[in-house]
Amino acid sequence: MVANPCTYTVCPSNNNICRIRFDFTTFNINGPVTGLVITDVPAITTTGGAIGDCTTDMFTLTSPGNFAPPIICGFNSGQHMIVDASRNMCNEAQFSLSGSGTREWDIKVTQYNCGDEQGGPDGCLQYFTGTTGTVASFNFLTTSPTVEPTTTHLSSQIQTMCWRQEMDTCAICWIPVVLGSNTITGSFGVSTSVRRQPRGERDGQCSTDYLLIPNAQSNVPTDPADTFTIGSIGSDVMLSDRICGRFFSSAAAGANRFASRSVCSQQRPFRMTFQSDSDEVTLKGNNLAIGFASVNELNKIPGGIIGFNLRWTLQNCI
């Protein structure tokens, strides 16, 4: 029988260790309180305070004297975390479990000497190398062929993701992963939408849950003036820093935010941060406006509680 809580202590092997990486080869414990996205509901009775909270199982990772990673739970196989090492104290990885359920985990720990770039830059919870891959919010079931309506990102997250600039690359682009034939729900949904119908939002409309991408620029292939070109900015493009809403798009025109589009950045170092607050918006009432995407994250597909699963690709210099 596994002790509860189950705590693993990881101490630096020498005084020259600066970063410690935890690769979640297998990570599947009880998930958070989930929401349910419905196409059209005039009044939602579920409050959003608990949605996304890890109330039964949780995983914590300490980083003494430094910024600690967020609490996570649910499915996180294939994810990883990197924390700063302390010369005077050890890091602790702890699973706290309650209730029933089948849990499994297998975690690989790697220690990096100071100055080893494989450990990632300071302040980066995740670090990616290579020219293409995927990145997802914690508890996103990346192995599923579809995005289920109960897919729920975690509350109170600060997930900073960083990418190594590979040789002869000058920009990075992201676009939601298409899972099977399910192109309606998509693999992005973070917070509410300003309009009653779901659409992507940017900058000042993103204040609770959002992706922070410095100098984000949309690649809108339907308009040559907006097409992303390394070393220049389209004549009809406005740079933005925050992306949220029901579709992944930083397009300047609202009409171009009713579908997900690739978003690129030439800002270096390549970095993106996902931030979520402690609540989800699930207002209810008899007002005709209540229940639309602008006031309820559970109303209208795609939902605002999904989180994200994005494919990223570094762009060659031109």
pLDDT digits (tens, 9 = 90+) for 164-199: 999 999 999 999 998 765 554 579 999 998 877 889
In this structure, is the dihedral angle defined by the CA atoms of residues 130, 131, 137 and 141, taken in order, positive or negative? Answer: negative
Using omega within 30 degrees of 0 as the cis cutoff, is the peptide bond preceding 12 cis? no
Collect all residues with Cβ–Cβ distance below 8 Å to 64 and sequence separation of at least 6.
Answer: 86, 88, 89, 90, 91
Determine the average pLDDT of the residues in 242-266.
Answer: 91
Residue 43 pLDDT > 70: no
* Pair of tokens at residue 307: 């989180």
* Pair of tokens at residue 37: 């996205």
Provide the 10 A C-beta neighbour count for residue 233: 14
- Name the DSSP letter for residue 236: T
Provide the 10 A C-beta neighbour count for residue 21: 18
Residue bearing the bigger pLDDT, 284 or 67: 67
Collect all residues with Cβ–Cβ distance below 8 Å to 86 and sequence separation of at least 6.
Answer: 12, 63, 64, 65, 66
Residue 138 pLDDT > 60: yes
Percent of the chain surpassing pLDDT 70: 91
Collect all residues with Cβ–Cβ distance below 8 Å to 100 and sequence separation of at least 6.
Answer: none
Residue bearing the bigger pLDDT, 39 or 101: 101
Reduce the DSSP state of residue 204 to 3 states and report it. helix
pTM: 0.93
pLDDT at 291: 55
Reduce the DSSP state of residue 203 to 3 states and report it. helix
pLDDT at 254: 84
Residue 71 pLDDT > 60: yes
- 261, 248 contact by CB (below 8 A): yes
Backbone phi and psi for residue 255, each to the nearest 5 degrees, phi listed first = -65, -20
Residue bearing the bigger pLDDT, 2 or 110: 110
Region 6-316: CATH code: 2.60.120.290
What CA–CA distance (Å, rounded) separates 235 from 220? 12
* Pair of tokens at residue 53: 């909270």
pLDDT at 284: 67
pLDDT at 281: 85
- CA 177 to chain centroid, in Å, comes to 13
Determine the average pLDDT of the residues in 231-237.
Answer: 78
The torsion defined by the Cα of 229, 201, 160 and 264, in degrees rounded to 10, comes to -10
**Amino acid, res. 32:** P
Residue 77 pLDDT > 60: yes
Residue 242 pLDDT > 80: yes
pLDDT at 38: 80
Residue 65 pLDDT > 90: no
Percent of the chain surpassing pLDDT 90: 64
- 93, 34 contact by CB (below 8 A): no
Residue 288 pLDDT > 60: no
pLDDT tens profile 9-38:
999 999 999 999 999 999 999 999 999 888
What CA–CA distance (Å, rounded) separates 313 from 131? 6
